[in-house]
Amino acid sequence: MRARVLAAATAAVLATVAPAVPAQPAAAQVASAARAPLPCPKAPTPKVSRPPRPVPPPAVPADRAVGGPQLDTPGLATPAGAPAPPAVTATSWLVADLDTGAVLGGCGPHEYGTPASTQKLLLTATMLPKLDPKQVVTVTRGDLDIAPGSSAVGLLVGGRYPVETVWLGLLLNSGNEAANVLARLGGGADGVAGGVRAMNEEARRLGARQTHAVTPSGLDGKGQFTSAYDLALIARACFASPLFRRYTLTERAQIPAQPTLKKGGFQIQNENQLIYRYPGALGGKTGFTELARHSYVGAAQRGGRRLVVTLLGAEARPVRGWQQGAQLLNWGFSLPRDASVGRLVEPGELDAAEAATPSGSPVPPTAPAPWRGPAVTAGHRMAEGDWRVIVPVAGTAATVVGVLVTLLVARRRRTRPTGRRRA
């Protein structure tokens, strides 16, 4: 009997002093499940041989949240009630409005990827405002230092070309030597290295915090990365330039003859099939390396709207990169004008926000934790192993149990019947 009374009293004390951690509410469990990444519709991907994917930099939470919290996902982000986007082979993609900056949807928009020649758009956004298209530049031997077999326009060492011609060679034929010429010309005393440094500075200004350029052309380089979201920021900056819009829609261009080198001129054609086959196409940029696979940026207008699509890590089968871009553009145009899962930040916006905070980096607002009361809070802290709570609670419980035991023993002695001791 005494044992049962003591056990009941001890249990009551422990329940009062150290309450059990309540189970997670059903609503919280549902919310947690809702945060699980939604899988992106994927088209069957053919098996290809490729170099091992480079290890991306560590994820920076603030960079992944640029544009809105819904974009911080490795999976699908689409507006509520929107139809499913088409299945593509790209590992990541994004569709956005060029004018409003609204992001209509994406798949892993902030996942790191390798850009291939879509990086030439960052070179364009950086150097197009700086270089005079009428200036004549002489090509050097160093400009032709590109990977054997990689895309080239056919510029000649010692050849003299208007800068505008070099731009057309870059954007129509994805000339890697043209990228070197423009980076060297815009890089000042440091040449190509200065041009790449300027590209990285421009990426930061635009808010493309997951982009790091190593080569001006997009030829693979260690530590060179971007994301579908960053590519959209860069593309938006390019399409804001009337000069770029004219270049990227040019179907054919003439590379002038070089009489001093006894070489004739020749014609080049735009490799972006979107401008020939998609009504309302505004242009864009293709890209491919064995490591990056197919990357693509394309834009089009329809019904007074201008949309841009970016995709990384695609395969050319069952359909090519530009066709996957066209399918995603069709999906984007089918959405209501106010559909959105985020936005493209404005140039300089992130720098201004960081400068406005004493620490130099923006601190996102966090919702206050719900009030649970002291008992439940203590229980949570004990469950998390907080010895600053466990030790005093255990000490208090032991003291109370000791007092109860003493009281029970004293009472037992008082109520014991008196009488003679038996022999």
Question: 7-64: per-residue pLDDT in tens?
Answer: 444 444 434 444 443 444 444 433 433 468 999 999 998 888 778 878 889 999 999 9
- What is the mean predicted confidence (pLDDT) over 274-298? 97
Confidence at residue 36, expressed as pLDDT on a 0 to 100 scale: 87
> What CA–CA distance (Å, rounded) separates 401 from 403?
5
Mean pLDDT value across the chain: 85
Confidence at residue 230, expressed as pLDDT on a 0 to 100 scale: 98
Is residue 3 predicted with pLDDT exceeding 80? no
Is residue 383 predicted with pLDDT exceeding 70? no
Is residue 241 predicted with pLDDT exceeding 80? yes
Q: Which of 174, 151, 154, 178 is nearest to 164 (CA)?
A: 178
Helix or strand holding residue 92 (H, E): strand 92-97
**Per-domain boundaries in the chain:** 2-20+374-414, 67-355
Confidence at residue 73, expressed as pLDDT on a 0 to 100 scale: 97
Residue 147 CB contacts under 8 Å (≥ 6 apart), including other chains: 176, 219
Is residue 422 predicted with pLDDT exceeding 50? no
> What CA–CA distance (Å, rounded) separates 80 from 14?
48
Q: What angle in degrees, to the nearest 10, is found between the helix axes of 120-127 and 191-206?
A: 90
DSSP for 242-293, written as a single string: HHHHHHHT--EEEEPPBGGGTB--EEEE---THHHHSTTEEEEEEEEETTTE
Is residue 389 predicted with pLDDT exceeding 50? no
Confidence at residue 407, expressed as pLDDT on a 0 to 100 scale: 64
CATH class held by domain 67-355: alpha beta
- Kindly report which listed range (140-154, 319-333, 389-403) carries the lowest average pLDDT score: 389-403
pTM of the shown model = 0.78
Confidence at residue 31, expressed as pLDDT on a 0 to 100 scale: 41
> What CA–CA distance (Å, rounded) separates 126 from 272?
22
Give me the percent of the chain exceeding a pLDDT of 90: 72
- Other C-beta atoms within 10 Å of 407: how many? 11
Is residue 290 predicted with pLDDT exceeding 60? yes
Between 387 and 61, the more confident residue is: 61
Q: Residue 296 burial (CB < 10 Å; 0-12/13-18/19+)?
A: buried
Instruction: Report how far apart, in Å, the C-alpha atoms of 63 and of each of 48, 67, 73, 235 are.
Output: 31, 9, 12, 18
Half-sphere exposure (Cβ direction) of 187: Cα atoms closer than 13 Å: 19
Half-sphere exposure (Cβ direction) of 245: Cα atoms closer than 13 Å: 14
Confidence at residue 299, expressed as pLDDT on a 0 to 100 scale: 98
DSSP for 368-417, written as a single string: PPPP--HHHHHHHHHHTT-HHHHHHHHHHHHHHHHHHHHHHHHHHHHHSP
- What is the mean predicted confidence (pLDDT) over 409-416? 60
Q: Which of 352, 98, 136, 333 is nearest to 235 (CA)?
A: 98
Confidence at residue 412, expressed as pLDDT on a 0 to 100 scale: 64
> What CA–CA distance (Å, rounded) separates 213 from 243?
23
> So which residues are the catalytic ones?
117, 120, 174
* Residue 172, amino acid: L
Which pLDDT band holds residue 174 (cuts at 50, 70, 90)? very high
For residue 302, what are the β-bridge partners? 305
Confidence at residue 409, expressed as pLDDT on a 0 to 100 scale: 56
Give me the percent of the chain exceeding a pLDDT of 70: 76
Is residue 405 predicted with pLDDT exceeding 60? no
- Kindly report which listed range (37-51, 213-227, 273-287, 390-404) carries the lowest average pLDDT score: 390-404
